[in-house]
Chains A and B, each alone.
Chain A
């Protein structure tokens, strides 16, 4: 500092002279300095403000695009669901309508049987014999009242014949009734058949109604999405986020499952694939175990595709039913094979672990503790079961994987928008701060040269 003194022996005077000289200089350079600061302010703060506004416009464009993608994917999803339902309706109707003439014929046949039986049941009441009129004519004959023996005999004969006739008619009546009852009881199975056929019709109609209800629901959903209202967007966004979170959770759990599966087969794989070479720091046996686990997941994806549960590969979903069945059987066989291999490896793992423990004990000079046969079998069976079951559970990962792929696009886009927006806000705040600092600096500058400025103003006003 003392080097700057004009007169080192008089520091106060030196400082005063320097301050005065700087004041004069800064007063004279006021206009260009103001312009320079203004330009700097415009350059930095203005540039940042422009970046901030560009980010805002970029964000709104990204939002629009994200909305569009979300809407389009939801529409496509909805269309696919509707198409699937229509396909189901088509298949159902083709099958059921093809069956319908048969069903109708069956019902017609049964009704014809009933009609015939009903006709057979028609009741013909036996007529009373015509003796009554004869008896009446005889009673009007002369001498009946006087107790003529001939008439009396005649009447007795008539009575006897009437009683016999009545008996015969009653017997005939009973016979007919028995026959009729037989026919009527024979109708019951036919009625049951008709009832069964009608129930089948009822079930199929209910199914058709359920499908049409579903289609109606999908159509309403499709209609609301197509309109692209704010509510629909919010609903779709929330749905995608929910799907993303759940699928991530399931994938993490599946990851732990895969880790357990890997550890179950890694040790025995070293017995089968012994090699000193490493790939990406992993032993070849470990890589082999990893490949088996990954193959199980791949086969699971193909299985789910063939079953029509997921739709990751359009080539598979667009295959004919026969070809899809081939893929399904191949995937099932592949999974069964890998599960069996894993079960065998799990048994081998237990054997190796037991040998390792025995060797360590022998080296430590302890007598090998022999576990009971039962315990050993339980562990082996448990490991084998785990080895056989885990591949099938891992195969299910295809479903959350598809959900994750579908929803991650929207969620990651949302996250990216949030980050860009945050960067935009930060840049805007920095720009504003720089602008404020520049202005404050200019005010301090003006305050420093206040004396020459005031003198200059006074001189200007007098002149």
Chain B
């Protein structure tokens, strides 16, 4: 009788441990967001952007990971700015098909020659923040492909929440230098410093503005 009781106790304990050890895999997943500037002179960088995303970011996605493509335009905080969304299937064969399909979306985007008049970086960042948060992924990365010079259209209001970028790692990629930057490097430096202060103030996990396209893979591996 006593042995039976002990057996049942062990069985219940083992079942509880096993059930409690079953968890959702969200914390192991990665959500990434690529913000592509389509305004002014940076619109010419589209092809380069697509190349970096295809060769550096997509191959690093593993089943369950998310990738969003958002454009930076005159008013970026709108659903129309979401050009593509990818959630990789857990089956490798399906995941490969999805990668190719997303690459086609990127190619289509790269060929589009339209450009925006204004540069609403903050709006795109806020939109991206919302998408990244919705995934509840353990690692969240925001890649901004822009010259980081914001020009808001009159009437637009962009202020971040205190916890706008909680748990997010923000990377300014392929930041091109403007004429004013080459004339006075301090203009460029102070602009980047300002962005760093701004994102870190709003709870960003990290800020990086010097990442080379070839180092993306290593950067993502270190964050995971």
Residues of chain A whose beta carbon lies under 8 Å from any beta carbon of chain B: 267, 270-271, 274-281, 283, 285, 352, 355-356, 359-360, 362-365
Chain A CB within 10 A, most for which of B22, B28, B93: B93
Residues on A with beta carbons closer than 8 Å to the beta carbon of B150: none
**15 residue pairs bridging A and B, Cβ less than 8 Å apart:** A267-B92, A274-B63, A274-B89, A274-B90, A277-B24, A278-B22, A279-B18, A279-B23, A281-B23, A355-B96, A363-B54, A363-B58, A363-B59, A363-B100, A365-B55
Q: Which residues of A contact B89 (CB under 8 A)?
A: 274
Q: A356 with B22: in contact, given A270-B63, A274-B63, A278-B28 (CB under 8 Å)?
A: no
Contacts of A352 in B (CB 8 A): 92-93
From residue B109, how far is it (CB to closest CB) to chain A in Å? 15
User: Scoring B residues 63 to 74 as 1 if CB is less than 8 Å from chain A, else 0, what string do you get?
Assistant: 110000000000
Minimum CB–CB distance for A66 against chain B, Å: 28
**Minimum-distance CB pairs A-B, first 6:** A274-B90, A359-B96, A364-B55, A363-B54, A278-B25, A274-B91
**With A and B bound together, what is the CA distance between A283 and B91 in angstroms?**
12
User: How far is B48's CA from A384's CA once the two chains are assembled, in angstroms?
Assistant: 42
CB-based contact A280/B21 at 8 Å: yes
With contacts defined as CB atoms under 8 Å apart, how many contacts are there between chain A and chain B in the complex? 62
Q: Which residues of B contact A279 (CB under 8 A)?
A: 18, 21-23
Interface contact A277-B91, CB-CB below 8 Å = no
Tell whether A362 pairs with B103 under 8 Å between CB atoms, given A271-B91, A355-B93.
yes
Mask of B176-194 contacts with A, CB within 8 angstroms, 1/0: 0000000000000000000
B68–chain A nearest beta-carbon distance, Å: 17
Answer whether residue B51 sits at the interface, using C-beta atoms and an 8 A cutoff: yes
Residue of B nearest to A355 (CB): B96
In-complex Cβ contact of B92 among A275, A283, A355, A362 (8 A) = A355
Contact across chains for B93 and A271 when beta carbons are under 8 A apart: yes
User: Which residue of A is nearest B18, CB measured?
Assistant: A279
Nearest-neighbour CB distance to chain B for A348, whole angstroms, equals 10
Q: Is B99 an interface residue (CB 8 A)?
A: yes
* B213 nearest CB across to chain A (Å): 12
Contact in complex: A278, B23 (CB < 8 Å): yes
- The CA of A431 and the CA of B6, in the complex, are separated in Å by 44
Partner of A360, one of B21, B59, B90, B93: B59
* B residues near A356, Cβ cutoff 8 Å: 92, 96
Q: Is the pair B92, A276 in contact by a Cβ cutoff of 8 Å?
A: no
In the complex, how many angstroms separate the beta carbon of B183 from the nearest chain A beta carbon?
35
The chain B residue with its CB closest to the CB of A349 is: B92
B97 — nearest CB in chain A belongs to which residue? A359
Does B90 lie within 8 Å of A270, measured CB to CB? Answer: yes
